[in-house]
Structures are given as C-alpha cells and as structure tokens.
Amino acid sequence: MANKEALVEETDRKVYRHKRRVRNQVICYIVLALLLIGLIVGSIIGIRKIMSIINDKKHAQELQKQLEELSEQEEEQPVVEGPSEVSEPPQETVTNYLDEIVNSCISEMPLEDKVAGLFIITPEALTGTDIVVKAGDTTREKLGEHAVGGLVYFSQNIKDSAQLTEMLQNTQSWRKYPVFLAVDEEGGKVSRVAESGLADNVGSMGEIGSGGDAAAAREAGAAIGNYLSGYGFNLDFAPVADVIAEGNTTIGDRSFGSDPNLVAPMVSAMIEGIQSTGVSACMKHFPGIGDTTEDSHDGMAVTQKTLEEFSATDFPVYQAGIAAGVELIMVSHISAPNVTGDNTPASLSGQMINDILRNQLGYQGIVVTDAMNMGAITEYYTADEAAVKALQAGVDMILMPEDFSIAYSGVLDAVNNGTLTEERINESLQRIYRIKYKDKVEE
C-alpha cells in the first residue's frame, strides 16, 4: 500500500514537472515573439526616422538654394518698401502652368489632328455641302475626321438668333479640341451678324475715327464682343489696322483714318474692348494695304512702300496693337518688292513674317493668313503649295484655302517627307493653344 502511494506521488510530480516545462516553454516563446515584434517595430520607426532626416536635409538644401537665389535677386534689384498687399501668382508661374496644359494636349495629338488644327475653314468646306445653317450629324462626323482649328461663318450661315446660337453650340459640343468660331465683324459694312439684323451696328471705323475719341473705339469693340460671345463666337477678324492713303478705295471707311498717330490708339482701344469680352481680336492686314488701289481678291496687289515708309506709317499701329495684347494678326497677300526684293505675297514671305513681324516688332502671338482662296494666291500657287509655303514663312494658321482637302494633304505630306518638321507644326500649335487654353489659368 505504501509503495502504491509512493508511485502515485512520483507520477504526480512528473506530470507537474512536465506541465511546468511546457508553461516555461510557452512563456519563452511569448517573450521571443514580443522581442521579435519589438525589433520589427523599432526597425520601422528607425527607418522612418532616417527617411525623415534625409527629407528634412533635402528640403533644407532646397530652401537654402531658394534663399540664396532670392538673396541674389535682392542684391541685383533695389527694394522699394510699400504697404503689404496680397499679390497674384507670378506671371512666370501662370505662364509655366499654361505651357504645361498646352504641351500636354499637343503631346497626345496624332499628326493628322495637329495638321488639321492649323486650318480655319468655312463650314461648307468642312461638310461638303452648299450652304450650312445648322450643325447636324454631318458636322459631327466631319469634325471627327478633320479636327480643324477653326470655322469661319458668313452672312449665308446666319438666319436668326436661335438658329445661329444652336449651330455654334452644337459645333462646340462636337469638336475634339478647342476650336475657333470666327466671323468678320468690323462694324460698318463688314458686319456679318449686325447686317443680318441680329445686333445693332456700331457704325464704321471711319466714323469713329473722325471723332478722335479712343474711348468710343473701345466701347464699339466691347459692344461687338458682347453680342458675338452671346451667340457663341470666340474670334473676331477685326479691327482693321490699315492707315489709308489718298485714293485708296479697297479699305475706305473700314479704316480709322490716314494718320497713324490717330489710328494707333483707336486700334489698340478697340482690341481692348473686343478682348475684354473673352473674344479674341485679330488685327489686319499686315504689313498694311492702305496705299494700294488693287484688290488681292482679284489678283496680285502691290505696294511700292519701303521698309522705312512702313515703319513710319503702318508699323506704329501694329506696335500699339501688340502692346494692347492682340491675340491674332492677319497677314495680307500684298507684295512689297521694295521690302522683300520680289513679288512674293507677304503671307508667304519669311522676311515679312519672321524677320519683321516677329523679330523686329516683337509679336509672338498667332499669325493667320488672309483668305487663301483669293486671286493673289490662287493665280500663282496650288492650294497645297501655298499652305506649305505659308507655314515655312512662319504663319501659324491657314485661312480658307482654295481646296481644304488638297491643302491639308499637302501639309501632311510635307511633314512626312521632311519638307516641314513636326517640331515646326508644334511651334504653331503652342501659340494657338496658349490662346485657346488661356481661360484655364484665368479662372
């Protein structure tokens, strides 16, 4: 009996020792697990701390660099203290943001769309129909095929307020990229909308110019811009910047007058008025057709002016318009042999566009041709030849080629065969889209 009890006690002690070993092992495992978790958490915290130190160092270096640059600017320019004001974003920042938007858009465009974007054509040229008074399925289909940069409308396209508004709204809703919807609305006899009875005519620029009050020109421009934007237009081929000479019948009272000292402030004021409404203005007809008695609609028009004479009469007007922020300038088809050395139309002359308009006068906006279906072009050049030559000369947009399909294909072929580079096309698109997307940085 005693042996049996001793055996039971020994068994109980073994069971107890076993349980204790198991418990100790569990405790060890738990402690090891906790230590491992602690190491992992500590490592994560350590890594984050190291990254934070690195970032802080990097930010400190960048801040130090900015402070050094700011210090250099302050040393270079005197500081004039004044009352503290809430300043708008620097123009450089706005410009960079706009360029980012523009370049992003252009980078995603296929070459076919890029080339189409250089043309402003009539809705009839787009759709292949006789007269367009509405934008229906055909317009939607053709805009998908050819993403043209703009459409220009004439009196035949305008019937009444509701029709015009609906046509322009539909066109905008179906375009692939922002599109210019343009019209010739100068005031006076060249007023497609007002002459159709859909707005009050502000009168001729000759009448306004005779009053000598630039404020009247600004009011006229604002009035035109307001009713155009109300219908859906965003580009007005106005004002006329020509300084007329005695005997000129081509321009007549479309011009503000014969004195550049009068015409310049009138033109700049009208530009400000038009563009204050969100409608882009287009000065015309560079370098100036105020002294010719010939009409480039019918054939070659020639001026005998020298560069010095242009600089005295016409260029001051363009300089005033450029200073006023004009967004487009139209180049005429006039030949100026005493400037260029031959009868090449100004619209196809690199000397006239790049050397004079851009480099001498400092204009960096959109350059558009006058209508390319005029006799001064069609009698001497095919539609594709003229379009390519205009782009080579520095033009950004081709207005109303004699045959859009031929001109478009010609430019596309010129890029593919190396006559024109895609970089050259992109250069024009950048100017175009800086205007079309300007509202993105004004909002």
In which band, very low, low, confident or very high, does the pLDDT at 94 lie, cut at 50, 70 and 90?
A: low
Would you say residue 189 has pLDDT above 50? Answer: yes
Q: What is the pLDDT of residues 67-76, one digit of tens each?
A: 355 445 444 4
Predicted model pTM? 0.79
Q: What tens digit of pLDDT does each residue of 18-33 get?
A: 666 656 666 666 666 6
Statement: residue 89 has pLDDT above 90: no
Residue 35 has pLDDT above 90, yes or no: no
* Domain-wise residue ranges, the chain: 1-70, 91-442
Q: Is the pLDDT of residue 384 over 80?
A: yes
Lowest mean pLDDT of 91-105, 195-209, 249-263, 396-410, name the range.
Answer: 91-105
CA distance 438 to 143: 23
- Out of 122-126, 128-132, 171-175, 244-248, least confident range: 244-248
Q: Is CATH 1.10.3720.10 what the domain over 91-442 is classified as, yes or no?
A: no
Neighbours of 13 (CB within 10 A): 10
Pairing of strands 190-191, 185-187: antiparallel
pLDDT at 2: 47
H or E segment at 266?
helix 260-275
Tokens of 118: 């250089």
Separation of alpha carbons 172 and 367, rounded Å:
23
Q: What is residue 36's predicted lDDT score, i.e. its pLDDT?
A: 67
Q: How far apart are CA 301 and CA 287, in angstroms?
A: 13
- Tokens matching residue 23: 């418990």
pLDDT confidence tier of residue 98, bands split at 50, 70 and 90: confident
Query: Which whole number is the average pLDDT over 364-370?
Result: 97
Residue 253 in 3-state DSSP?
Answer: helix
**Euclidean distance between CA atoms 43 and 49, whole angstroms:** 10
In the prediction, which pLDDT does 70 show? Answer: 40
pLDDT of 180 higher than 80: yes
- Residue 298's pLDDT band (boundaries 50, 70, 90)? low
Residues 397-419 have pLDDT tens digits of 999 999 999 999 999 999 999 99
Tell me the percentage of the chain whose pLDDT exceeds 70: 77
Per-chain mean pLDDT for the chain: 86
